[in-house]
A and B are shown apart, each in its own frame.
Chain A
């Protein structure tokens, strides 16, 4: 650009601007460096050119916005195109992202270029001054306050004062009362699951979540993993998500001699153990099951449970073992539960018995 500039338009050089003036005092205030003009400040043609550049960026932004609308209208949402580093992508997504990105970027770039080349760049120091008001103003305000206090009779008319204090003290109570809406207390909801409907007289079948069929013990081979839910629950139920969040079971079969926990072996059926699928830390579904080590890993915070040892926590933040459901078989030979979990499923809560 320098060829556009005629040398005589350049300002006179400014000597030693910005240097420390007093060599005897190393802490002397050097002051502001002398102002240097920009090309656009001294050359009208350069200023015009910068103006055109800024406007061009804003026009490109406008065109990109029009392009965005046009892409939205014109491009088929299912159209897939190949774009080099990205691979096969949706043509519509790509066009929308590109045009919106250009539209926003050009507004920003234009504004930056405008500020750098054309807006005033003269340094304007704003000197500091004391925050405190002058004595005169302060005395005046104090006088006014005292006069106001005396005229209102706040100190003299004690009944008004006290009732005002009382009314203001009571107002926050309305907020406190509204906290009741956080309730009602969950009562037994945290403690019970859908399996509570099972009784020894009327057991509930375990339903395989892949086939939606009841299971027989011989269906589950050692080393297999199966997910189950109580009979009667279907994925179309309105409250399916709430219920499966507590009722979901993970069924594993471990060779009985490998089961270290006697209680766990007793709750299971011939080595088939039915554990809650819900992590006792914050309730993520656990099912990263390693069939050789019998470890189950929670994907959220890496809590690890040893399913061969009563789902003891062997790593991670979980505070309790996974609750185990007692299972047996009914007269048809299907796996059933005869009661609810002995311990509450899912994360801990205040009233949970330790």
Chain B
């Protein structure tokens, strides 16, 4: 202490005190200002909404209206939620190529970053299902596959086929095949009910069950080997019968003709 007080009149003492004070102020500010990050988030969010609005004006507004209010060419997007945008744009269904019975899946033309901005803008129009994070749709429990299978057969198989291969609906509409569909997009489809698919909101089908269904669909359409050999599209008796009649009977007929066409006579005529 004596040492310190002896040097209090040193020419650099003022500078040292100033530096200490500055460091203390900075440290205290860092410690007592947690709102800092949140403010940055809000700023990033409003930036995303702004960017999304610009993208929306260019790519979507001709059908859905400048403020997503809808028009004669496209439905209102107020309250559809970010999950619906992530599904529709992420699977390439939107922007739609042409009107018709059903908008098909195609190559996505927006990057995931742009999709997130569009989703942020649409979410800002009115609350709706929110894009799920990976934890919600990634199953780590192997039991989920069999539980998901039961739920799939109760709720999904009637349209999407027992093996997720899809099927026909009325007047040119169809339930698409689930083969190669991202886990996130399967989850979002259940949340939002795209096009003519009914929705399965968390209130009637909890997140946990959606995760189980996703696990089953991914397993069935991607990983599961087929013990019986050729699946023939997993369409059941239609393709199996066609295969049997054309190739099975066809082979038998061809063999019969071959046998009859080759004489065993010594003198070939």
Contact = CB atoms under 8 A, between A and B. Distances in A.
A and B are partners in one complex rather than unrelated chains: yes
Interface of A: 5, 10-11, 13, 36-43, 80, 83, 85-90, 93-94, 97, 112, 116-117, 121, 208-211, 215-216, 218-221, 223-227, 252, 285-293, 295, 297, 299, 302, 304, 315
B158 interface: yes
Contacts of B97: none
Given A287-B158, A288-B158, A297-B169, A220 B227 contact: no
Interface string B198-227: 111101111001000000000000000111
A290 B170 contact: yes
Contact of B159 (A5, A209, A220, A288): A288
Contact of A215 (B169, B204, B206, B227): B204
B125 interface: no
Interface string B159-201: 1000000010110010100000000000000000101111111
Contacts of B195: 292
B237 interface: no
A87 B158 contact: no
A322 to B, nearest CB: 15
Given A291-B199, A315-B170, A116 B159 contact: no
B204 A211 contact: yes
A279 B265 CA distance: 64
B169 A223 contact: no
Contact of B264 (A40, A220, A224, A285): A40
B169 A36 contact: no
Interface centre among B154, B204, B206 (most CB of A within 10 A): B204
B134 to A, nearest CB: 23
Contacts of B259: 112, 116
Contacts of A292: 195-196
A59 B158 CA distance: 50
Report, nearest first, the 4 A-B pairs whose CB atoms are least far apart: A225-B198, A88-B225, A90-B227, A219-B203
Contacts of B158: 285-288, 299
B113 interface: no
A299 B238 CA distance: 14
Contact of B229 (A86, A216, A315): A86
Contacts of A290: 169-170, 173, 196
Contacts of A218: 203
A292 B173 CA distance: 11
A226 B155 CA distance: 8
B201 A219 contact: yes
A319 to B, nearest CB: 19
A94 B264 contact: no
Interface in B145-162: 151, 154-155, 158-159
B2 interface: no
Q: Name A's interface SS.
A: mixed
A87 B225 contact: yes
Nearest to A118: B264
Contacts of B230: 85-87
Given A227-B154, A287-B158, A295 B199 contact: no
Interface in B115-148: none
Given A13-B267, A220-B203, A226-B200, 11 more contacts: A80-B227, A85-B230, A209-B154, A210-B204, A221-B201, A221-B203, A288-B159, A290-B169, A291-B199, A292-B195, A293-B170
A252 B204 CA distance: 12
Given A210-B154, A290-B169, A80 B225 contact: yes
Contact of B204 (A89, A116, A220, A286): A220
Nearest to B230: A86
A10 B259 CA distance: 23
A277 to B, nearest CB: 10
A227 B170 CA distance: 21
Nearest to B200: A224
A112 B199 CA distance: 61
B219 to A, nearest CB: 14
B205 A210 contact: yes
B17 to A, nearest CB: 64
A2 B201 CA distance: 79
Contacts of B197: 291
Contact of A293 (B196, B229, B265, B267): B196
A94 B230 CA distance: 11
A297 B200 contact: no
23 contacts: A38-B264, A39-B266, A41-B266, A43-B266, A83-B229, A87-B226, A88-B226, A94-B229, A210-B204, A215-B203, A216-B203, A218-B203, A219-B204, A221-B199, A223-B198, A224-B193, A227-B154, A288-B175, A289-B198, A290-B169, A290-B170, A291-B196, A292-B196
Given A86-B230, A90-B228, A112-B259, A10 B203 contact: no
A255 to B, nearest CB: 13
A193 B113 CA distance: 54
A208 B196 contact: no
Contacts of B159: 287-288
